[in-house]
């Protein structure tokens, strides 16, 4: 990547999608692919793909295409998937338990090291081999363990306080499912996940299709 060249957020958001598609190509034992062929699979223009990759040096050769394995590994490095990031889940309700059981975290390089809740009926149980701990012991755990990412599935009313405790304990990234907008110090990475948003987008597309409009 060129020094001091800021990568647009929309490009960063596309990188995981490139990574997934390239992983599928590897499973199919495809060694090389052109930007045109990749664009057909991903429904992104070839020029957009080349423009995105140029932010990081290009990766391909004109008339030669992209080495799939090399590109897959390089995007993995850009995304930090080789850094061995550790994560915890705060909130062991239905959503928290589902996320803790999601095997793709480990496959993508994220290690789940803890799950926390305040419900005495849940504390002490095990999810995907990880014991649910009392939220009151959060600071002690953070002091003794490296935690890079926290997934928040707590009630909206509690999430700000929990987030502040996590940041104070050294957590650098938060994945927030609470529907609350967090106010945190500059430099803390936050991704807000509003599950209903894609449903509403899908509803719009269905409405357009019913009315005979292209979507």
Helix (H) or strand (E) holding 196: helix 196-210
Q: Kindly state the DSSP code that residue 8 receives in the 8-state scheme.
A: P
Is this structure's pTM higher than 0.85?
Answer: no
pLDDT digits (tens, 9 = 90+) for 21-36: 999 999 999 999 988 9
Say what the pLDDT of residue 3 is.
45
3-state secondary structure of 191: strand
Nearest Cα residue to 150 out of 136, 131, 165: 165
Query: Distances in Å between the alpha carbon of 178 and those of 123, 159, 182, 211?
Result: 21, 7, 10, 34
Per-residue confidence of the chain (215 residues) as pLDDT tens digits?
Answer: 444 468 898 999 899 999 999 999 999 999 999 889 999 888 889 999 999 998 988 786 666 789 999 999 999 999 988 888 999 999 999 999 999 988 678 878 889 999 999 999 999 999 989 999 999 999 999 999 999 999 999 999 999 999 999 999 999 999 999 989 999 999 999 999 988 888 898 899 899 899 887 66
Beta bridge partners of 133: 116
Residue 105: in which H helix or E strand, if any?
helix 104-107
List the structure tokens of 71: 């590109």
Give CA angle at 41 (36, 47), nearest 5°.
35
CA distance 180 to 157: 8
pLDDT value of residue 206:
92
Q: Which helix (H) or strand (E) holds 176?
A: strand 173-176
CA geometry: angle at 68 spanning 67 and 69, to 5°? 100
**What are the structural domains of the chain?**
9-78 (1.10.10.10), 86-196 (3.40.50.720)
DSSP string, 110-173: -EEEEEEES-TTTTT-EETTEEEEEGGGHHHHHHHS---EEEE-S-HHHHHHHHHHHHHTT--E
């Amino acid at each position: 990547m060129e020094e001091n060249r800021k990568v647009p957020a929309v490009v960063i958001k596309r990188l995981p999608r490139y990574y997934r598609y390239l992983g599928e190509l590897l499973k199919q034992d495809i060694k090389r692919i052109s930007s045109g062929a990749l664009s057909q699979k991903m429904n992104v223009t070839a020029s957009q793909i080349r423009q995105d990759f140029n932010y990081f040096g290009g990766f391909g050769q004109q008339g030669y295409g992209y080495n799939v394995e090399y590109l897959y590994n390089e995007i993995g490095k850009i995304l930090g998937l080789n850094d061995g990031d550790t994560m915890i889940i705060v909130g062991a309700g239905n959503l928290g338990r589902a996320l803790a059981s999601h095997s793709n975290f480990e496959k993508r390089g994220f290690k789940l090291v803890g799950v926390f809740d305040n419900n005495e009926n849940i504390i002490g149980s095990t999810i995907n081999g990880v014991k649910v701990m009392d939220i009151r012991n959060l600071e002690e755990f953070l002091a003794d363990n490296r935690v890079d990412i926290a997934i928040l599935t707590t009630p909206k009313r509690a999430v700000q306080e929990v987030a502040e405790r996590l940041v104070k304990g050294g957590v650098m990234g938060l994945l927030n499912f609470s529907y609350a907008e967090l106010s945190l110090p500059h430099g803390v990475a936050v991704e807000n996940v509003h599950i209903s948003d894609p449903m509403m987008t899908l509803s719009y597309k269905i409405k357009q299709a019913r009315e005979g409009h292209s979507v």
